[in-house]
Amino acid sequence: MTRLMQTAVEHFPIAGSFTISRGSKTTASVVTCHISEGVFAGMAECVPYARYGENIDSVLTEIETIRPRIEAGIDREELRQMMKAGAARNAVDCALWDLEAKTTGNRAFTLAGLAEPAPLTTAYTISLGEPEAMAAQTEQYAHRALLKVKVGTADDATRIRAVRAAAPNSAIILDANEGWTEANLAYHFEVCAESGVALIEQPLPAGHDALLSSIRRPVPVCADESVHKTEDLPKLAGLYDAVNIKLDKTGGLTEALRMRDAARALNLKIMVGCMVGTSLGMAPAVLLAQGADFVDLDGPLLLARDREPGLRYEDSLVFPPLPALWG
C-alpha cells in the first residue's frame, strides 16, 4: 500500500524561559513527521538543535531528501543506514514505529520486544541563573524526588550549595553543558561530592573527554554532547560512568535501543534525556527509559502548553503514552 508523508513545523511557548550555559530560549520549535498508509497514520516529532548544526530548515530538507524511499515503504533498519543520526531521522523513525503499531494493532513496546512499560520517576529541570534565583526556583520543586540543575559557569560552587540547601531531600543531577574547564573541574567535583550530587552531566566540552582519565571522579560523570550513537561508546568507557541517550541525538528509537544495550554491555549506567519538546517527543523515550538509572523526560512540564492528548504527569512520575498519543 502506498505511503504518504507530510511534515510540519510547530511552536510551543516555554513557561518563562529555559536557560543553560549556552543561552536562553522562550519557545520550543519542533518538526513533526506524519506518515500515512491507507486509513492508518503514524506521527512523531523532533527538536532541531543548533549545537549539532541543526535548524528547522536543515531538518526539513533532510526529511524531504528521503521522501521517495519513505513513500516507497522503507523500513526502520534501512532508514537507520541511509540517514545520519540526528533530529531528522528521529522524526521519521518514531513515525514509522507509530505507523507499524497502528497498522498491526500492536503496541510499540510489543513490537520492540519490551515488557509493558510502567510509570517512571523523571527529573525536573532548574534553569541556570544567579544562585538566589536558582534557590528560589528550586524551593518550588523541592518536593520532587529528582531535580536536574543547569550550571556551567566559571564558579558554580555557590549555585550548587544554594540549590542543595533549597532541596535537601531531592536527588540532584548537575548538568554543566560543557561549561567547565580543566582549571575548575577538580574544584567543582569536590563541591558536588560535598553537596551529595548524584550525577554530573557533560562537565567538559566534547572532545576534551580524555581529561577525565587523569582526575579523581568522586561523583559519577555522564556523557551527553560527547555521545550520539552506538559507535561513540567504546572510546568513552573508562572516562564516563554513564551516558545520556536522547532520541534527537541517536536519530530515533531504533538506534537508541541498540545504544542502550551496548552501553550496558560496557557497564555504563543509562540516563534517558530529552530536548525541550512536547509529549509526542517524549512518548517513545518513555519506552527506552524503562529500567534506566536516571530519567529526564520533563520537556512538556517546561512548556506553557502541551499538545493534546499528552503524557500524564503526577508530581515526579511520568506515565506511559496512551495509543491516542503515540505507539
* Residue 243 phi, psi dihedral angles, 5° rounding: -130, 140
Q: Are 69 and 133 in contact (CB under 8 A)?
A: no
| Residue 37, beta-bridge partner list | 3, 40
242-245 and 221-223 strand pairing: parallel
Q: Is 150 a catalytic residue?
A: yes
Measured over all CA atoms, what is the biggest interatomic distance in the chain, rounded to whole angstroms?
A: 61
Question: What is the number of other CB atoms lying within 10 angstroms of the CB of residue 314?
Answer: 8
> Which candidate in 102, 148, 150, 229 is catalytic?
150
**CA pair distance 138, 165, nearest whole angstrom:** 9
**CA pair distance 59, 112, nearest whole angstrom:** 26
242-245 and 269-272 strand pairing: parallel
Q: Are 18 and 80 in contact (CB under 8 A)?
A: no
| Residue 318, beta-bridge partner list | 120, 313
Give just the sign of the alpha carbon dihedral 83, 30, 64, 322: positive
| Residue 43, beta-bridge partner list | 34
- 103's grid cell: 497498522
> Which candidate in 102, 148, 229, 246 is catalytic?
246
CA distances to 75, 88, 117 from 54, rounded to whole Å, are 24, 9, 31
For 173-224, give the DSSP string: EEE-TT---TTTHHHHHHHHHHTT-SEEE--S-TT-GGGGGGS--SS-EEES
Question: What are the residue numbers of the active site?
Answer: 150, 246
